[in-house]
Amino acid sequence: MISLFPPSPSTLAPGVFGSAGLLDLGTIPAADGAGLLVAHITAEVDGSDDVKRRPSDKAKLRRAVGAVTGGALRAWRKGKPVYRPRDSKAFTGELVAHRSFVSAVDGMIALGLLHTKTQSNSPFDWGDGTLSFSGLAARLWPSNRLLTLATEHGITPATITDDFDVEFSSTPPAVPTQVIEQRVLNEPRRGGRKAVKARRVLTTKRDDETAQRLSQEVLEANKFAAELQVEGCVPPRWKRVFGPSWLLGGRWYALGSSGHYQALSSAKRAAITIQGEATAEVDVSAAHLSIMLGLLGLPLPDGDPYTFTGLPRSVVKKWITATLGNGAPVGARWPQRALADQPDLADFDPRAVGATIKERYQFLHNPGRAVVGAARLDELEHLGTPKRLLTHRLMGIEADALTSALSYLRQVRGVLALPVHDSLIVPASRGALARETIELAFRQRAGVAVRTKMDAPLA
């Protein structure tokens, strides 16, 4: 039987590793075929080692095999691998035990059901005394044998999301002592090679009043969330991550490695309830482009700012977001990650697309330099060039406005809002209030006019 999944090579191109997604340990078989497949693989894994397992341990192994199998297949329908840290500390409160996960993964690799690739974290010397690191966590992806077995059990890319579902732990994730982090910025590309600094958290001084204020805000949000019932995801708790300046970054990150709401699809997020009430997601339309326009004192165009005659909206949006993310216009080639997310970009010349877009948005010729004063990038020149800092600063402005909005909703109106970078999830009955609050927050905190849209709750 021929597998309907993309064929699986034993090695992957380096660029594919960067598109890997986190394996969700809440993945479970939801259809008969998936259950039979997981039972078959579990029996193989259990019989392939010398471990004598009690019935309860076999059940735990089956749970782990289901998560690994389903997670790997769900990702591979788009040709993407998955990863999962093996540190036992990363399994606190998870539905899959650490020992069972390791047994499942190692057993499936030994049986030729999974491919794996571990990238070295050894330092790379650029020749000028600067060291950086290009390592990535181990990636996992299904072998052709696993893909064939899945197909034999009636599992295809078209059915995979129905064959395997995701359930959530009711145990809140552990909240770290430090709920705000400051991190160094990654090194820019050199000679076509992406240099990645080892992720290093900067030490926050105890007498830093800004740090104390930001920490207190997150602690209050976590306390408020603990008092309410949120279903359809892991109970939400947060931390915030900044760059080396409080003006950079600052997004709210939901804690927990599996089942946290920010990692869910929009359809799954739409099923979240707060205190038993359906929710709505209020999204800032074209957030970073709107911030750029506001910083320059330019009005939002009528209608959709991504609409251009003769160009698909998705192509325009990808070019603009990639340009603002890189701090410079997309050149002769689309970024590798953009192509991985949207393969049809290959049908469009990025230079021609950019020429059309820049006729309307002249500042995209050099976006970082265009807002160097308005975005306060001139105050941060010791940390990097405007090009390098732009995307982090736009995130900072966005996060500051959304933080103001969710704090008002919590403190003044008693409404729990779940931040998703450029949107808030709120009880559906408070959707209109959330829209007004977000738009006001952007005007007051950033001097920027934005438009919002609201996804209706599930019927």
Residues 345-359: pLDDT tens digits?
A: 999 999 999 999 999
Other Cβ atoms closer than 10 A to 247: 20
Domain boundary among 315, 339, 370: 370
Q: Is the same domain home to 229 and 339?
A: no
Does residue 6 form part of some domain? no
Does residue 185 form part of some domain? yes
Would you place residue 119 in the very low, low, confident or very high pLDDT band (cuts 50, 70, 90)?
low
* Mean pLDDT for the chain overall: 89
**Residue 333: per-residue pLDDT:** 93
Q: pTM (2 decimals)?
A: 0.80
Q: Is the same domain home to 229 and 263?
A: yes
Domain boundary among 124, 142, 166: 166
Q: Which domain holds residue 326?
A: 297-370
Q: When comparing pLDDT for 172 and 128, which is higher? A: 172
User: In terms of C-beta density within 10 A (0-12 exposed, 13-18 middle, 19 or more buried), how is residue 387 classed?
Assistant: middle
Q: Is the same domain home to 304 and 279?
A: no
Question: Is a pLDDT exceeding 60 seen at residue 381?
Answer: yes
* Amino acid code (one letter) for 195: A
Q: Is the same domain home to 224 and 162?
A: no
Q: Is the same domain home to 387 and 348?
A: no
**Residue 149: per-residue pLDDT:** 97
Tokens, residue 37: 């497949």
Sequence-ordered strand ranges (E) for 32-109: 82-83
Domain boundary among 370, 401, 432: 370
Does residue 175 form part of some domain? no
Q: Are 339 and 13 in contact (CB under 8 A)?
A: no
Q: Is the same domain home to 271 and 393?
A: yes
Most confident of 36-50, 166-180, 259-273: 36-50
Distance (Å, rounded) from C-alpha 117 to C-alpha 109?
11
Classify residue 30 by its DSSP letter.
Answer: -
**Residue 197: per-residue pLDDT:** 44
pLDDT above 90: percentage of residues in the chain? 71
SS3 call for 82: strand
- Residue closest to 64 by CA, chosen among 93, 102, 113: 102
Does residue 1 form part of some domain? no
Q: Is the same domain home to 307 and 261?
A: no
Question: Is a pLDDT exceeding 90 seen at residue 195?
Answer: no
Q: Is the same domain home to 261 and 358?
A: no
**Residue 258: per-residue pLDDT:** 75
- Residue closest to 101 by CA, chosen among 118, 86, 115: 86
Does residue 54 form part of some domain? yes
Tokens, residue 431: 């959707």
Question: Is a pLDDT exceeding 80 seen at residue 205?
Answer: no
Q: What is the pLDDT of residues 250-292, one digit of tens each?
A: 999 999 877 789 988 888 899 999 999 999 999 999 999 999 9
Window from 133-147, 233-247, 255-269 with minimum mean pLDDT? 133-147
Q: Is the same domain home to 148 and 41?
A: yes
Distance (Å, rounded) from C-alpha 329 to C-alpha 331?
6
Distance (Å, rounded) from C-alpha 187 to C-alpha 198?
10
Q: When comparing pLDDT for 2 and 12, which is higher? A: 12
Window from 387-391, 420-424, 446-450 with minimum mean pLDDT? 446-450
| Residue listed under structure tokens 């990692």 | 263
Distance (Å, rounded) from C-alpha 348 to C-alpha 270?
33
Does residue 184 form part of some domain? yes
Q: Is the same domain home to 389 and 241?
A: yes
- Please tell me the total count of domains within the chain: 3
For the chain, how many helices (H) and strands (E)? Answer: 15, 18
Does residue 8 form part of some domain? no
The H or E element spanning position 231 is strand 230-231
Question: Is a pLDDT exceeding 70 seen at residue 126?
Answer: no
- The contacts of residue 50 (CB under 8 Å, 6+ apart) are none
**Residue 366: per-residue pLDDT:** 97
Classify residue 203 by its DSSP letter.
Answer: P
Does residue 160 form part of some domain? yes
* Amino acid code (one letter) for 451: R
**Residue 142: per-residue pLDDT:** 97
| Residue listed under structure tokens 């799954």 | 268
Question: Is a pLDDT exceeding 90 seen at residue 185?
Answer: no
Q: What is the CATH number of the domain that holds 218?
A: 3.30.70
Q: Is the same domain home to 37 and 125?
A: yes
Q: Are 73 and 150 in contact (CB under 8 A)?
A: yes
Q: Is the same domain home to 119 and 208?
A: no
pLDDT above 70: percentage of residues in the chain? 91
Strand partners, 116: 140
Q: When comparing pLDDT for 88 and 427, which is higher? A: 427
Q: What is the pLDDT of residues 314-346, one digit of tens each?
A: 999 999 999 999 999 999 999 988 887 888 999
Provide the residue count of the chain. Answer: 459
Q: When comparing pLDDT for 348 and 193, which is higher? A: 348
**Residue 123: per-residue pLDDT:** 42
Tokens, residue 64: 């782990």
